[in-house]
Structure 1
Amino acid sequence: MNLEKENLSLREAQKIVLLSQRLPGVNGAGSATNATLHAIEHLGYVQIDTISVIERAHHHTLYNRNPRYQASHIKELIADGKVFEYWSHAAAYLPMEEFRFTLPRKHAIATGKQKHWFKQDDSVMQWVLDRIKNEGPLMAKDFDKKGVKPGEWKTAPKKQALENLFMQGDLMIKERVNFHKVYDLTERVLPPAIDTTLPTEKEQGKFLVKKYLQTNGLGKLSEMTYLLKNTKPAVTNALNLMLETGEIKEIQVDKTDYYVLPESLELLNQPLSRKKLKILSPFDNLLIQRKRTKEIFKFDYLLECYVPQHKRKHGYFTLPILWDGKLVARMDSKADRKQKILDIHQLTLEQSLKKTEAFSNALCIELQSFLKFNDCKGIRLHRTVPSSFKEEFESSYPNLIV
């Protein structure tokens, strides 16, 4: 029997997505560190990235969910066994309470059912594992010379062995020192009460569906399995079963079909802070699937740091700007840490943005917080598109401009 699907407007869909993503963030109850933990537990993962032209992506994503966020929170949560590093669609921080749902990937890699990008050398891997077992936590650089004859072992194989052991679950990252990974045996890192039973395919599929929809509001099969190898059959079966039991519903937005949790539709009755502006990381959970961002927010976004300079339209590291419940601008920025100045090389407004004065006011308020987050004290605004906005912003907020 075909039931007619509920239709949502784009504006309604955007509201559900943003409230599910907890954007813009608000001050919650309890300690600031616990607020960060709750953000990671809700999101399910926070992508780690090495680019540091502004504060790194994992800090940036959490700062936008928790206004009291401090970079030290992640280190504290890892030390307390509440957060760990592993792979989501990319390298990420994940909540320890969901550790067992990383086991299917680890098991598949360990048994050869899933290929990792590094070739496995069993003898080298065993040598690395034995050293860590006997010596305690080690970094990649600890393997450069110690215990190896000159010319016997190049740098690449030892890093590959560490990564393979990490991906198949024998090692975990105990901590980072100056952003360098410190590896230790999994049994020495895992808190004692953590569930380590391997989920069934049915459990795994249902977990992936429910987690995605809780975090993202609405979604499609292709989005739920994005860069998650060998998960499509389990997720497909879970979707069919959850539709039958009424745990999820099918809706339509802009002639596109989505799945949604019934309770997520109730978010339409909650307020969304449209006046508050947020400058987002390119690797924010809201944005990571660019096709989805274009379909739901009509925002065509490309991170141009991977594009040759002469082909860039918006800049090297453009930060999407969320305001009025929409993605309305993008800002190419770099923190000059010596001078403590945030260079805005180009600020581009979307053509659909008409309320430029209200947007300017909201941007000024958020920039003051964003400067502090990046340990900067002023702004150099180089260029805006349209060009007329530059004079409008600078004349209104001279205290921010250096």
Structure 2
Amino acid sequence: MRAVRVVRRSTGGVLPSWIDEEFAVDHFSLSEARAVAVSRQRLGGAGSYESVLRAAGCIQLDTISAVRRAHESSLLARGVPVSEVENSLIARSRPVAFEYWAHALSLIDIELWPYFAFRRRSYRALEREVPGGESAVRDLRVLLGEHGSIDAGHLPEGATHRRAPGSTGWDPRSDHKRALDYLLNIGEVTCVERDGFRRVYRSAADAVPAGLFRDASDDECVDRLVSVALANLGVATVDDVADYFRIKQARVRASLERMEVPRVAVESWDKAAYRDPGLTDVPEVDASPTALSMFDTLVWHRGRLERLWGHDWRIEIYVPQKKRTFGYWCMPVVVGSEIPGRLALRRRDGRLSVEAAEWAWSDREPLREALRGVAEWTGAKPKWECRVRRLRR
């Protein structure tokens, strides 16, 4: 455990302007902040789906499966066995997660159901008219009563309309799908399992364990989610904390003050940061090389990625191929507390194609080790289709 280093602006004049002459704060070097950030993400090891989700609070979902789906990559990077990852979304006697809006559409720890009440209330307040219409809502309630659970195949009109040729800006969802999404947003229905990758919807009153089926107050909700975010970030700005569950910064700032979370200074950061109260030391990080999805909690906030590691990387899956600066599916590679490079990978025809690679170190063995790890996750054989470019910062 390193000693807390208390600093003031008067000691050298190199600290951020928000620290006044009399306000003393703990100070973290950039390398220490990196070590804290990585250690809080529990990379490697031997986790389980439930333990990883319980600790992280949420894991982002995404349909793209260029290598593995987003939630699968996050679980695999934390040591969850492939067989367990592949069964993570199946029905269980007691649900582990529910799907809802967090950082984005995410798997959220079922224990946090009461603390998303503030968001459910906000959706109720936003809608002056029920999307899809009251008759669609009545139809859905009848279907749920008859079947217990439903998916898109139960909807009378299906999930989508056919888009008219040349039309733009038109919501393709059928009225029943719009109504179903509304019921999910306000918490009347929820999704705690999938059939393959198809959502299965149930009444929230039936799906959520009885002890958790309640609504916390707005302040309780925000305080709990801010605490979860801080526990996973370690040291973070207001923006970092807000981004984790996509909570308004004003609410986060009020919560941090209400809970009296200690402020800290981080080398080269021009904004105040906050330290998780449970952080008592700066750990030694010796994580083996691991490739991450850009949807992973460690790197999903691009501003934080740049502040900590100096990388301005972006997702380029929606960028035309000729305009991409790197590749379709970027995977940053973490080695210890450093991110010395990245891979652009794509799984197809039993091969794991390396379409692009950048690396800062002369020793490339960690890059190859990270690639071998992804190959094990996919059961595909790596195939290099590029040279490794020198990553310059």
Answer yes or no: is the 8 Å Cα contact 1:77–1:83 preserved in 2.
no
Aligned to 2:35: 15
| Range with greater deviation from structure 2 (76-85 or 54-63) | 76-85
Q: Where does residue 380 of structure 1 map in the other structure?
A: 383
Structure-to-structure mapping, 1:3-402, within 5 angstroms: 3-23=23-43, 25-27=44-46, 35-69=48-82, 70-75=84-89, 78-110=92-124, 112=125, 114=126, 119=131, 121-144=133-156, 156-194=174-212, 196-226=213-243, 231-243=248-260, 247-256=261-270, 257-266=272-281, 268=282, 270-274=283-287, 276-336=288-348, 338=349, 340-349=350-359, 353-354=360-361, 356-357=362-363, 360-376=364-380, 378-386=381-389
For the Cα contact (< 8 Å) 2:116–2:221, is it kept in 1? no
The C-alpha deviation readout for 1:273-328, integer Å capped at 9, x for no partner, is 15x10110010001111011101111111111111221101011111111242111
Deviation by residue 1:202-237 (Cα, 9 ceiling, x = unmatched)? 212321221111011111222222286664443222
Q: TM-score, normalised on structure 2?
A: 0.83
Measured in 2, the distance between the counterparts of 1:228 and 1:48 equals 13
Structure 1 CA distance for aligned equivalents of residues 127 and 243 of structure 2: 17
1:164 positional shift: 0.8
Q: CA deviation at 1:254?
A: 1.4
Q: What is the rounded CA distance, in whole Å, between the counterparts of 1:188 and 1:252 in structure 2? A: 46
Identity, in percent, stands at 21
Residues 360-379 of structure 1, C-alpha deviations (whole Å, 9 max, x = no match) = 22233333332121121x22
Whichever residue aligns with residue 343 of structure 1, its letter is S
Aligned pairs, number: 356
1:130 positional shift: 2.2
Could you tell me which runs of 5 or more consecutive residues in structure 1 were left unpaired when the two chains were aligned: 29-34, 147-153, 389-402
Contact 1:331 1:347 in 2 (8 A): yes
8 Å CA contact retained: 1:118, 1:164: yes
SS state of the match for residue 201, structure 2?
A: strand
Q: Which residue of 1 aligns with 2:165?
A: none
Per-residue CA deviation, residues 356-396 of structure 1 (Å, 9 max, x unaligned), is 22xx22233333332121121x22101124289xxxxxxxx
Q: Which has the higher contact order (CA 8 A, sep 6+)?
A: 2
Structure 1 CA distance, aligned partners of 2:91 and 2:144?
23
Q: Distance in 1 between matches of 2:87 and 2:266?
A: 39
What CA deviation, in whole Å up to 9, does each residue of 1:73-100 have, x standing for no partner? 4235755322222221211111111110
What per-residue deviation string (whole Å, max 9, x for no partner) do you get for residues 31-71 of structure 1?
Answer: xxxx2211111111000000011111100001111253532
Once superposed, what is the RMSD of the aligned Cα atoms?
2.6
Structure 2 residue runs of 5 or longer lacking an equivalent are 1-19, 159-171
Whether contact under 8 Å (2:42, 2:78) holds in the other structure is: yes
State the Cα distance separating 1:117 from its structure 2 match.
12
CA deviations 1:227-256 (Å, max 9, x no partner) are: 86664443222211223xxx4333333143
Q: Which of the two has greater helix per residue? A: 1
Secondary structure at the counterpart of residue 243 of structure 2: coil
SS in 2 for 1:65: coil
Q: Distance in 1 between matches of 2:339 and 2:305?
A: 9
1:277 and 1:14 map into 2 onto residues whose CA distance is 15
Indicate conservation of the 8 Å contact 1:205/1:231, yes or no: no
SS at 1:283 equivalent: coil
Q: TM-score, normalised by structure 1?
A: 0.81
1-structure distance, mates of 2:320, 2:23: 49
Distance 1:121 1:182, change over 3 A: same
Query: Which is further off, 168-177 or 360-369?
Result: 360-369
State the distance in 2 between where 1:106 and 1:156 align.
22
